[in-house]
Amino acid sequence: MTTQDDVLGYFDTLSNWGRWGDDDQRGTLNHITDDIRLAAARAVRHGRSVSCGWEVAVPQEMERSTTTCPCAAEMPGAEHMPAHFHADRRWGFSSERLSLMFHGNSVTHLDSPCHLYWDGTMYNGRPHTLVDPDTGSAWGAVTAAADGIVTRGVLLDVASARGVSWLEPGEGVRPDDLEAAERRQNVRVGPGDAVLLRTGYGRFRHEQGYTWSITQAGWHASCLPWLHQRDVALIAADTPQDVQPSGYGQVLMPVHAVGLVAMGLWLVDNCDLEACATTAAELGQWDFQFAVAPIRFAGTSGSPVNPIATF
């Protein structure tokens, strides 16, 4: 059993601070080299793409105001526009103003390294004071992944490997679960991969609806050395990653804390992996090209995303 002292020790034994230089903000994304991206392209063998993200619901998860103008030439302020603007009176438009909190347990989103602190410190030893209330973070922000994340994705369907529809809240996934899924699917996680963990919660959410809870299935802390040894670039899950309760009184979210702060491991929370799992089983292919394109929000600790798996 992995003890709390073991988990606290991971902040040192699994640390990537300085591994890619003292000024590195990309963390484990450094595992994704040009050769890794080329190999990911070769994983496209059928040309089929599926989304791994949830639709953002209105109004539950997003505040929205929509402006609709059937004739743009008559909109407020049109009198100040040049004459040629008024010549075409047939076009109109609609536009939106959106507001959402993407961190949490429902919206599919990417976490960048500045999202979490441990003892007031972020990835690569930078202080939390680099995060300004007005301008956001000057370190480890989502813009460190501005060029996008394109790599080989590997879906590990632990729910199916255990022979259940979904893992129950509070059930943790351990390294032996990951390796059982690898054997069942005849696939092996390697350097630079994105590992997508299916607990089956997506199926539960489709069938019974979303309900907020602090108790959930997810990665157990004992998976962190496994991910470090395999040189994984990114992890995703159909829950907010960490099994809850974590089992450790002093470490509420060890996968988030050790992953983001010590390892610089990027996370995609709250995926919908049901279409991905169905497609993988149908094609008999559990690896694919995986693409995540965060919005270039300056200084933010993440971004809502729609991850795409292409088989």
pLDDT tens-digit profile of 4-15?
A: 999 999 999 999
Mean pLDDT (the chain, rounded):
97
Query: How far is the C-alpha of 95 from the C-alpha of 211, rounded, in Å?
Result: 30
pLDDT one-digit tens code per residue, 270-311: 999 999 999 999 999 999 999 999 999 999 999 999 999 999
pLDDT of residue 60: 87
pLDDT at position 134 is: 95
> Which residues, including other chains, have CB under 8 Å from residue 213's CB and lie 6 or more apart?
105, 169
Does the pLDDT of residue 125 top 90, yes or no? yes
pLDDT more than 90, % of the chain? 98
Q: What are the pLDDT digits (tens) for 67-96? A: 999 999 999 999 999 999 999 999 999 999
In the prediction, which pLDDT does 35 show?
98
* In contact, 160 and 202? CB cutoff 8 Å: no
Residue 211 — very low, low, confident or very high, per pLDDT cuts 50/70/90? Answer: confident
- Alpha-carbon span 310 to 52, nearest angstrom: 10
pTM assigned to the model: 0.95
- Strand locations in 12-144, DSSP E? 49-51, 63-69, 93-99, 109-111, 131-132, 136-137
